[in-house]
Amino acid sequence: MVLNLIVLGAPGAGKGTQAERFARRRGIPKISTGDILREAVHTGTEIGRRAKAVMDRGELVSDDVIVGIVRERLDQRDAKAGFVLDGFPRTVVQAKALDEMVNGRGPLVVVDFAVPEAELVRRLASRLICEKCGTNADRGVDAADPEGCKRCGGRLVQRADDNVDVVRERLEVYHRQSEPLVDYYRGRPTFRTIDGAQSPDRVAADFVAAVEAAAGGLTAAEGARH
Protein backbone atom coordinates (compact mmCIF):
# COMPACT_ATOMS: atom_id res chain seq x y z
CA MET A 1 0.00 0.00 0.00
CA VAL A 2 1.14 3.53 -0.77
CA LEU A 3 2.54 5.53 2.15
CA ASN A 4 2.46 9.30 1.84
CA LEU A 5 4.35 10.61 4.84
CA ILE A 6 5.18 14.11 6.02
CA VAL A 7 7.40 15.07 8.93
CA LEU A 8 6.73 18.26 10.85
CA GLY A 9 8.95 20.01 13.39
CA ALA A 10 11.20 22.99 13.90
CA PRO A 11 14.56 23.38 12.16
CA GLY A 12 16.99 21.11 14.03
CA ALA A 13 14.27 18.70 15.21
CA GLY A 14 16.03 15.84 13.39
CA LYS A 15 13.27 15.22 10.88
CA GLY A 16 15.59 15.31 7.85
CA THR A 17 17.91 12.65 9.28
CA GLN A 18 15.01 10.43 10.33
CA ALA A 19 13.14 10.93 7.07
CA GLU A 20 16.24 9.86 5.15
CA ARG A 21 16.69 6.73 7.27
CA PHE A 22 13.04 5.75 7.03
CA ALA A 23 12.78 6.36 3.28
CA ARG A 24 15.90 4.29 2.60
CA ARG A 25 14.52 1.37 4.60
CA ARG A 26 11.20 1.51 2.82
CA GLY A 27 12.63 2.08 -0.66
CA ILE A 28 10.61 5.25 -1.23
CA PRO A 29 12.02 8.69 -2.07
CA LYS A 30 12.73 11.27 0.59
CA ILE A 31 11.79 14.60 -0.88
CA SER A 32 13.32 17.58 0.90
CA THR A 33 12.33 21.02 -0.37
CA GLY A 34 15.38 22.51 1.40
CA ASP A 35 17.67 20.10 -0.50
CA ILE A 36 15.92 20.86 -3.81
CA LEU A 37 16.33 24.62 -3.22
CA ARG A 38 19.99 24.32 -2.13
CA GLU A 39 20.67 22.31 -5.28
CA ALA A 40 18.95 25.01 -7.38
CA VAL A 41 21.09 27.69 -5.69
CA HIS A 42 24.21 25.59 -6.29
CA THR A 43 23.52 25.07 -10.00
CA GLY A 44 22.35 28.67 -10.43
CA THR A 45 18.89 28.09 -11.91
CA GLU A 46 16.36 30.92 -12.08
CA ILE A 47 14.51 29.60 -9.02
CA GLY A 48 17.80 29.18 -7.19
CA ARG A 49 18.89 32.73 -7.92
CA ARG A 50 15.62 34.11 -6.59
CA ALA A 51 15.48 31.80 -3.56
CA LYS A 52 19.03 32.43 -2.34
CA ALA A 53 18.48 35.80 -0.65
CA VAL A 54 15.27 34.60 1.02
CA MET A 55 16.99 31.47 2.34
CA ASP A 56 20.01 33.43 3.55
CA ARG A 57 17.68 35.57 5.66
CA GLY A 58 15.94 32.49 7.09
CA GLU A 59 12.60 33.42 5.57
CA LEU A 60 10.28 31.25 3.49
CA VAL A 61 10.27 30.99 -0.28
CA SER A 62 6.84 31.91 -1.69
CA ASP A 63 4.06 29.32 -1.52
CA ASP A 64 3.54 29.46 -5.31
CA VAL A 65 7.12 28.57 -6.10
CA ILE A 66 7.44 25.82 -3.54
CA VAL A 67 4.04 24.25 -4.33
CA GLY A 68 5.06 24.17 -8.01
CA ILE A 69 8.32 22.40 -7.13
CA VAL A 70 6.56 19.78 -5.00
CA ARG A 71 3.76 19.20 -7.50
CA GLU A 72 6.31 18.48 -10.22
CA ARG A 73 8.34 16.20 -7.97
CA LEU A 74 5.33 14.18 -6.77
CA ASP A 75 4.32 13.63 -10.39
CA GLN A 76 7.53 11.73 -11.04
CA ARG A 77 7.20 7.99 -11.30
CA ASP A 78 9.22 7.04 -8.19
CA ALA A 79 6.87 9.02 -5.94
CA LYS A 80 3.77 7.15 -7.06
CA ALA A 81 4.56 4.31 -4.65
CA GLY A 82 4.79 6.74 -1.75
CA PHE A 83 7.22 9.31 -0.37
CA VAL A 84 8.55 11.00 2.72
CA LEU A 85 8.27 14.78 2.47
CA ASP A 86 10.74 16.75 4.59
CA GLY A 87 10.41 20.53 4.95
CA PHE A 88 7.04 20.70 3.20
CA PRO A 89 4.40 21.82 3.99
CA ARG A 90 5.56 24.81 6.02
CA THR A 91 2.40 26.92 5.79
CA VAL A 92 -1.29 26.14 5.92
CA VAL A 93 -1.58 27.28 2.27
CA GLN A 94 1.00 24.62 1.34
CA ALA A 95 -0.80 21.99 3.45
CA LYS A 96 -4.05 22.65 1.61
CA ALA A 97 -2.27 22.36 -1.74
CA LEU A 98 -0.73 19.06 -0.60
CA ASP A 99 -4.14 17.67 0.39
CA GLU A 100 -5.25 18.28 -3.19
CA MET A 101 -2.11 16.70 -4.64
CA VAL A 102 -2.45 13.47 -2.64
CA ASN A 103 -6.19 13.20 -3.06
CA GLY A 104 -6.82 9.64 -4.29
CA ARG A 105 -3.21 8.53 -3.69
CA GLY A 106 -3.60 6.82 -0.30
CA PRO A 107 -3.48 8.13 3.27
CA LEU A 108 -1.39 11.10 4.32
CA VAL A 109 0.47 10.22 7.52
CA VAL A 110 1.76 13.16 9.57
CA VAL A 111 4.46 12.83 12.26
CA ASP A 112 5.42 15.86 14.34
CA PHE A 113 8.86 15.90 16.01
CA ALA A 114 8.70 17.75 19.34
CA VAL A 115 12.01 19.16 20.61
CA PRO A 116 12.54 21.90 23.26
CA GLU A 117 13.79 25.24 21.93
CA ALA A 118 17.13 25.20 23.81
CA GLU A 119 17.98 21.82 22.30
CA LEU A 120 17.10 23.07 18.79
CA VAL A 121 19.44 26.06 19.15
CA ARG A 122 22.22 23.83 20.45
CA ARG A 123 21.86 21.37 17.57
CA LEU A 124 21.65 24.01 14.84
CA ALA A 125 24.69 25.90 16.13
CA SER A 126 26.83 22.77 15.98
CA ARG A 127 25.45 21.03 12.89
CA LEU A 128 27.72 20.26 9.94
CA ILE A 129 26.70 19.22 6.45
CA CYS A 130 28.62 17.95 3.44
CA GLU A 131 29.46 20.75 1.04
CA LYS A 132 29.03 18.39 -1.93
CA CYS A 133 26.04 16.11 -1.28
CA GLY A 134 24.30 17.96 1.55
CA THR A 135 24.22 15.00 3.96
CA ASN A 136 24.08 15.91 7.64
CA ALA A 137 27.22 14.83 9.50
CA ASP A 138 26.59 12.98 12.79
CA ARG A 139 29.19 15.06 14.56
CA GLY A 140 29.18 18.69 15.49
CA VAL A 141 31.43 21.66 14.78
CA ASP A 142 33.68 20.92 17.75
CA ALA A 143 34.49 17.44 16.49
CA ALA A 144 34.97 18.23 12.79
CA ASP A 145 36.39 15.22 10.99
CA PRO A 146 39.23 15.89 8.54
CA GLU A 147 38.17 12.85 6.51
CA GLY A 148 34.92 14.58 5.66
CA CYS A 149 31.56 13.18 4.58
CA LYS A 150 30.98 9.48 5.26
CA ARG A 151 28.98 9.15 2.07
CA CYS A 152 31.05 10.97 -0.56
CA GLY A 153 34.19 12.29 1.17
CA GLY A 154 33.14 15.93 0.62
CA ARG A 155 34.23 18.70 2.98
CA LEU A 156 32.03 19.26 6.05
CA VAL A 157 30.88 22.84 6.51
CA GLN A 158 28.32 24.80 8.50
CA ARG A 159 25.12 25.55 6.57
CA ALA A 160 24.94 29.22 5.56
CA ASP A 161 21.62 29.58 7.39
CA ASP A 162 22.77 27.83 10.59
CA ASN A 163 24.57 30.92 11.96
CA VAL A 164 23.17 32.34 15.19
CA ASP A 165 21.20 35.29 13.74
CA VAL A 166 19.62 33.33 10.93
CA VAL A 167 18.78 30.46 13.30
CA ARG A 168 16.85 32.90 15.51
CA GLU A 169 14.89 34.14 12.49
CA ARG A 170 14.20 30.59 11.25
CA LEU A 171 12.82 29.58 14.64
CA GLU A 172 10.60 32.66 14.70
CA VAL A 173 9.37 31.92 11.19
CA TYR A 174 8.68 28.36 12.32
CA HIS A 175 6.56 29.49 15.29
CA ARG A 176 4.68 32.05 13.24
CA GLN A 177 4.10 30.20 9.97
CA SER A 178 4.68 26.49 10.44
CA GLU A 179 3.52 25.66 13.98
CA PRO A 180 -0.12 26.35 13.00
CA LEU A 181 0.19 23.24 10.83
CA VAL A 182 -0.03 21.13 13.97
CA ASP A 183 -3.53 22.49 14.54
CA TYR A 184 -4.34 21.93 10.89
CA TYR A 185 -3.52 18.20 11.16
CA ARG A 186 -4.13 17.40 14.84
CA GLY A 187 -7.71 16.20 14.44
CA ARG A 188 -6.83 13.57 11.85
CA PRO A 189 -6.52 9.86 12.78
CA THR A 190 -3.22 9.70 10.86
CA PHE A 191 -1.51 12.42 12.98
CA ARG A 192 1.11 11.52 15.63
CA THR A 193 3.60 13.44 17.78
CA ILE A 194 6.91 11.92 18.88
CA ASP A 195 9.62 13.02 21.33
CA GLY A 196 12.49 14.15 19.07
CA ALA A 197 14.82 15.04 21.94
CA GLN A 198 15.90 11.42 22.54
CA SER A 199 18.88 9.61 21.00
CA PRO A 200 18.66 9.15 17.21
CA ASP A 201 18.01 5.39 17.59
CA ARG A 202 15.18 5.92 20.08
CA VAL A 203 13.66 8.58 17.84
CA ALA A 204 13.92 6.20 14.86
CA ALA A 205 12.10 3.45 16.78
CA ASP A 206 9.36 5.82 17.93
CA PHE A 207 9.07 7.18 14.40
CA VAL A 208 8.47 3.74 12.86
CA ALA A 209 5.99 2.88 15.63
CA ALA A 210 4.13 6.16 15.10
CA VAL A 211 3.89 5.63 11.35
CA GLU A 212 2.65 2.06 11.86
CA ALA A 213 0.03 3.15 14.35
CA ALA A 214 -1.07 6.05 12.18
CA ALA A 215 -1.28 3.99 9.01
CA GLY A 216 -3.15 1.19 10.78
CA GLY A 217 -0.51 -1.51 10.51
CA LEU A 218 0.19 -1.05 6.84
CA THR A 219 3.93 -0.56 7.33
CA ALA A 220 4.17 -3.53 9.69
CA ALA A 221 2.87 -5.79 6.96
CA GLU A 222 5.23 -4.37 4.35
CA GLY A 223 8.18 -4.22 6.77
CA ALA A 224 7.89 -7.99 7.28
CA ARG A 225 8.86 -8.47 3.65
CA HIS A 226 12.22 -6.68 4.05
The footprint of ligand AMP (CB under 6 A) covers 11, 33-34, 37, 54-55, 58-61, 66, 87-88, 90, 94, 161, 170
User: What is the C-alpha separation between 225 and 166, in angstroms, rounded?
Assistant: 44
Task: From the candidates 21, 30, 170, 192, give the one annotated as an active-site residue.
Answer: 170
What backbone phi and psi angles, to 5 degrees, belong to 219?
Answer: -75, -30
d(CA 162, CA 128): 9
Of 21, 52, 159, 192, the catalytic one is 159
- Closer residue to ligand AMP, CB minimum distance, 162 or 212: 162
How far apart are CB 18 and ligand AMP at their closest, in Å? 13
- Look up 159 and say whether it is catalytic: yes
Closest separation in Å from C-beta 58 to ligand AMP: 6
Instruction: Please say if 15 is a catalytic residue.
Output: yes
Q: Is 57 a catalytic residue?
A: no
Compute the least distance from the CB of residue 191 to ligand AMP, in Å. 19
Q: Which residues contact 35 (CB under 8 A, 6 or more apart)?
A: 86, 87, 134
Find the distance separating the first CA and the last CA of the chain, reported in whole Å.
15
Residue nearest to ligand AMP (CB): 34
Nearer to ligand AMP, 56 or 75 (CB): 56
CB 1 within 8 A of CB 68: no
Residue 9, CA distances (Å) to 84, 96, 113, 213 in order: 14, 18, 5, 19
CB of 125 to ligand AMP, least distance (A): 14
Element (H, E) at 223: helix 218-223
- With CA atoms as reference, report the closest residue to 177 among 112, 92, 118: 92
Q: Between residues 160 and 221, which has the closer beta carbon with respect to ligand AMP?
A: 160
Closer CB to ligand AMP, 179 or 222, in the complex: 179
Report, as residue numbers or ranges, the catalytic residues: 15, 90, 127, 159, 170
